[in-house]
């Protein structure tokens, strides 16, 4: 019978670890958190040094009972939760919930970067005690988030509408999106022109060169402002001879990227694989639990010496000595608040190039494998060629580059920017003008944030932790503060209302510098440089006073919009109101009359229903926006995306539905 109990967080890895440890060890899962702050109240004794009051959630009670039963015949218990602060706190909560300090049983804390036999064996042979500083750091962050959320959210409910929420990281992320959208709205495009010469060698080969100098004046992006100005230059070049003035070649090195951290993996998951950060982290979690990659929540770019040696061995075997640096490549953290001691994300076995599984899992593993292996390879060597072509008082420039030695690109892959070949040109060579190409441009507003660019910005500003980015973004979407269009965030009305209220009345909560400074203070708790209670007290005293003073001054935000509809119950006018699930119709005699109705039609789509010929309109449900027939409930045709209309028509036809407007519907679809 097993004498030792090992407690992990997830049941997915329990079986693997038990197999590695043998019959002396029983491995059980806590199923994540076993204690938390109560959902129904603040749960923090602000007058008693911010002492949190924890409860065991109903879903964890059965788990705690099972763990207590398993402890009865054990000599030792190993708390083997994840190795970050969250994992340290979960281990402490397990210890508290099981009353381990009251039992005559040996208690040890163990951590590991990867779920492999050597890592698990090493962890068991090198146990330690719980790190209370890490526990306090996580508690401080959790309590601070509770203080902000449970204090400000009721203000939003009272002054805007119920169902809204504010958060220490969430509200700053929302402000970034809202501020960016307003920058775009205020943006005034500026006209400018570029001029290119299409030139040909005597052999007939052609190339493009861009005007970079005219009359000894440097031509930059917005130098030529009007069509008249560019035409004047074109006229001045009439009859000019074009000759290659200078050809410069210089070597360029492109160095490999550091191995993945949580945030850089999330960014590439969005950009390269086009999956959400939430989905990416779910897949990475499964890969970790299967023992295929190291722990996926990290802001470290370092690799263990044994891992580097294994990667270098793989490079030597598959690509040869020329791709292997004489010494390993080392990287420095760029993240503002990077402090975790464990490794970057890498495959546990670099010799495993591919794996079985669904397409997304394969792609995520491949990305991690290529990034880790490429990080230990030689730089890519390129040759950059720049040619200047003179014509009267004008200088044109053409450039290109070629890969001399691929280096790490052999594994990481090229994005085709490396190979931009330029024709072989010689100094003094005459070339023939084929055409002068002038083109009008307008300056572009700053782009809307994508998941990747928002995560990158939050990390650069030092706001939040890598593990918080995915749930923060998910909250913004679920609260209907933002919508995602073409993978970019657009604020919704609720997002503007919440941000404006917080900026006006609680500016520090949505101030980037204040939030980043608070993040640094929380990090100092983990190192013992700051005390849990003092950090919270310094924040809470001015914050709570500000909330108390300002709340009464904030006017109720009227989100209602008049309509021409009358209440079916009392005949009073109906107005459009906003709620947690979107807009709806409500009687103006509320609270005397509590009649509400769903808001059927919102925005026209240009589509028509194939069944009844009425317009398909944009509607809103709890799960998000969809497109439904304006003839509802008589007609129930609906789809989630416009692009699904042809497939929806085929589906309805197979089911035997009458579709008299099928042709007209498809014609309308084709015109969009």
Q: How far apart are CA 669 and CA 189, in angstroms?
A: 32
What local confidence, expressed as pLDDT, does residue 605 receive? 81
Three-state DSSP at 233 gives helix
Q: What angle do CA 352, 115, 338 make, to 5 degrees?
A: 95
Q: How far apart are CA 161 and CA 583, in angstroms?
A: 11
Strand ordering across the sheet containing 561-566: 561-566, 573-579, 582-587, 596-598
Three-state DSSP at 427 gives coil
What local confidence, expressed as pLDDT, does residue 336 receive? 53
Kind and range of the H or E element at 221? none
User: What's the burial of 303, exposed, middle or buried (CB within 10 Å: 0-12/13-18/19+)?
Assistant: buried
- CB 577 within 8 Å of CB 588: no
- Residue 193 CA: distances (Å) to CA of 225, 239, 555: 6, 22, 49
The pTM of the full predicted model, rounded to 2 decimals, is 0.82
DSSP assignment letter at 620:
E
Q: How far apart are CA 519 and CA 299, in angstroms?
A: 14
Cβ-Cβ contacts under 8 Å for 410 (sequence gap 6 or more):
319, 323, 377
Q: How far apart are CA 534 and CA 274, in angstroms?
A: 43
Cβ-Cβ contacts under 8 Å for 402 (sequence gap 6 or more):
382, 383, 385, 418, 419, 421
Three-state DSSP at 285 gives helix
Three-state DSSP at 403 gives strand
User: What's the burial of 96, exposed, middle or buried (CB within 10 Å: 0-12/13-18/19+)?
Assistant: middle
481 is catalytic: no
Q: How far apart are CA 601 and CA 620, in angstroms?
A: 9
Q: How far apart are CA 262 and CA 501, in angstroms?
A: 32
Structural domains of the chain, ranges and CATH numbers in brackets? 4-130 (3.40.50.140), 139-186+447-551 (1.10.460.10), 191-253+386-400+426-442 (2.70.20.10), 262-374 (1.10.290.10), 561-598 (no CATH), 604-671 (no CATH)
- CB 233 within 8 Å of CB 195: yes
Q: How far apart are CA 107 and CA 611, in angstroms?
A: 68
Q: How far apart are CA 495 and CA 107, in angstroms?
A: 48
From the centroid of its chain, how far is CA 180? 17
What local confidence, expressed as pLDDT, does residue 339 receive? 52
What local confidence, expressed as pLDDT, does residue 426 receive? 94
- CB 304 within 8 Å of CB 429: no
Three-state DSSP at 611 gives coil
Query: Would strands 242-254 and 430-442 be described as parallel, antiparallel, or unpaired?
Result: antiparallel
What local confidence, expressed as pLDDT, does residue 624 receive? 62
Cβ-Cβ contacts under 8 Å for 158 (sequence gap 6 or more):
551, 556
Q: How far apart are CA 309 and CA 317, in angstroms?
A: 12
Mean pLDDT, consecutive 10-residue segments, the chain of 672 residues?
90 89 94 91 92 94 94 94 91 95 93 92 95 93 93 93 91 97 95 97 95 96 96 95 96 96 94 91 93 91 93 96 96 64 89 90 96 97 96 96 95 81 92 96 95 93 87 91 89 94 93 90 88 91 91 88 89 87 85 83 78 85 74 86 87 87 90 74
Residue 55, CA atoms < 13 Å, CB-side half-sphere: 11
What local confidence, expressed as pLDDT, does residue 658 receive? 87
Q: 295, 323, 365, 481: which one is catalytic?
A: 295
Phi-psi region of 653 (alpha: psi -120 to 50; beta: other; left: phi over 0): alpha
């Amino acid at each position: 019978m097993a004498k030792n109990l090992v407690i992990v967080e997830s049941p997915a890895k329990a079986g693997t670890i038990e197999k590695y440890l043998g019959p002396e060890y029983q491995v059980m899962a806590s199923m994540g958190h076993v204690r938390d702050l109560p959902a129904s109240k603040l749960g923090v004794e602000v007058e008693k040094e911010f002492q949190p009051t924890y409860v065991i959630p109903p879903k964890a009670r059965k788990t705690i009972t099972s763990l207590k039963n398993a402890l009865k015949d054990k000599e030792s218990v190993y708390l083997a939760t994840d190795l970050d602060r969250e994992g340290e706190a979960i281990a402490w909560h397990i210890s508290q919930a099981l009353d381990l300090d009251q039992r005559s049983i040996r208690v040890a804390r163990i951590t590991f970067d990867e779920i492999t036999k050597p890592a698990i064996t090493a962890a068991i042979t090198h146990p330690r005690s719980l790190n209370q500083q890490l526990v306090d750091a996580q508690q401080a962050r959790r309590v601070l988030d509770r203080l902000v959320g449970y204090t400000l959210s009721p203000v939003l409910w009272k002054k805007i509408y119920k169902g809204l929420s504010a958060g220490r990281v969430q509200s700053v992320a929302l402000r970034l999106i809202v501020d960016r959208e307003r920058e775009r709205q205020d943006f005034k495009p500026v006209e400018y022109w570029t001029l290119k010469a299409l030139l040909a060698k005597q052999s007939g080969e052609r190339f493009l060169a861009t005007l970079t100098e005219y009359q000894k004046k440097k031509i930059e992006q917005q130098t030529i402002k009007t069509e008249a100005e560019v035409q004047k230059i074109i006229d001045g070049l009439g009859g000019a001879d074009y000759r290659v003035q200078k050809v410069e070649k210089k070597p360029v090195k492109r160095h490999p990227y550091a191995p993945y951290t949580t945030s850089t993996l999330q960014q590439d998951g969005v950009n390269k694989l086009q999956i959400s950060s939430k989905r990416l982290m779910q897949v990475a979690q499964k890969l970790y639990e299967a023992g295929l990659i190291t722990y996926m929540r990290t802001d470290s770019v370092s690799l263990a010496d044994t891992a580097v040696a294994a990667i270098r061995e793989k490079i030597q075997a598959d690509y040869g000595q020329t791709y292997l640096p004489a010494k390993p490549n080392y990287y420095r953290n760029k993240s503002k608040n990077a402090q975790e001691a464990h490794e970057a994300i890498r495959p546990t076995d670099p010799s495993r190039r591919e794996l079985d599984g669904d397409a997304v899992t394969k792609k995520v593993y491949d990305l991690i494998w290529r990034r880790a292996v490429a990080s230990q390879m030689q730089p890519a060597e390129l040759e950059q060629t720049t040619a200047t072509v003179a014509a009267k008082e004008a200088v044109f420039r053409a450039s290109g580059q070629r890969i001399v030695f691929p280096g790490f690109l052999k594994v990481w892959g090229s994005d085709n920017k490396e190979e931009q070949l330029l024709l072989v040109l010689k100094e003094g060579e005459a070339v023939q003008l084929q055409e002068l190409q002038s083109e009008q441009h307008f300056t572009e507003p700053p782009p809307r944030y994508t998941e990747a660019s928002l995560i990158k910005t939050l990390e650069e500003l030092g706001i939040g932790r890598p593990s918080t980015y995915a749930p923060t973004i998910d909250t913004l979407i679920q609260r209907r503060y933002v919508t995602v269009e073409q993978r970019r965030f657009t604020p919704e009305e609720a997002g503007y209302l919440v941000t404006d209220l917080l900026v006006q009345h609680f500016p520090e909560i949505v101030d980037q510098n204040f939030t980043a400074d608070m993040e640094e203070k929380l990090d100092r708790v983990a190192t013992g440089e700051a005390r849990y209670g003092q950090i919270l007290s310094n924040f809470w005293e001015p914050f709570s006073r500000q909330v108390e003073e300002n709340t009464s001054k904030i006017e109720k935000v009227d989100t209602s919009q008049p309509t021409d509809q009358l209440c079916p119950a009392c005949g009073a006018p109906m107005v459009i109101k906003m709620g947690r699930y979107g807009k709806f119709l409500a009687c103006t005699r509320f609270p005397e009359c509590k009649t509400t109705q769903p808001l059927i039609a919102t925005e026209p789509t240009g589509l028509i229903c194939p069944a009844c010929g009425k317009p398909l309109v944009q509607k809103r449900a709890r799960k998000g926006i969809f497109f439904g027939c304006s003839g509802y409930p008589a007609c129930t045709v609906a789809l989630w995306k416009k692009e699904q209309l042809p497939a929806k028509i085929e589906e309805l036809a197979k089911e035997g539905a009458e579709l008299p407007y099928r042709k007209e519907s498809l014609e309308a679809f084709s015109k969009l």
